[in-house]
Amino acid sequence: MFWTMLVFLDPLAAVLVALRPRLGAVLALLVMVADVAINSDWACRLGASGGVGALVLPAQAFFLGVVLAGFPMLRALQPDARGA
């Protein structure tokens, strides 16, 4: 169910970052933290190593770092006209 929700949450976060950066930054951060946490748990429980699985989690963790690095800048932007 989580991965199915990502089909909707990931594009929504991208659109919100473009249109309402403060709100989009929060959603993007929440999605990435949940994604890395759930995938890390999955990898530890199933012992996923090698192949594509060995590349996906580090790539997600890297992107989480990118989101974390950009989060303060996006949150510092002035709210839009609706007061986001």
H/E stretch holding 39: helix 21-46
- DSSP letter (8 states) at residue 7: H
Tell me the angle at which helices 21-46 and 2-19 cross, rounded to the nearest 10 degrees. Answer: 150
pTM of the model: 0.75
User: Whose structure tokens read 């429980």?
Assistant: 45
What pLDDT, in 10s, does the model give residues 11-22? 999 999 888 888
Using alpha carbons only, give the angle 67, 9, 13 rounded to the nearest 5 degrees.
45
pLDDT tier for residue 9 given thresholds of 50, 70 and 90: very high
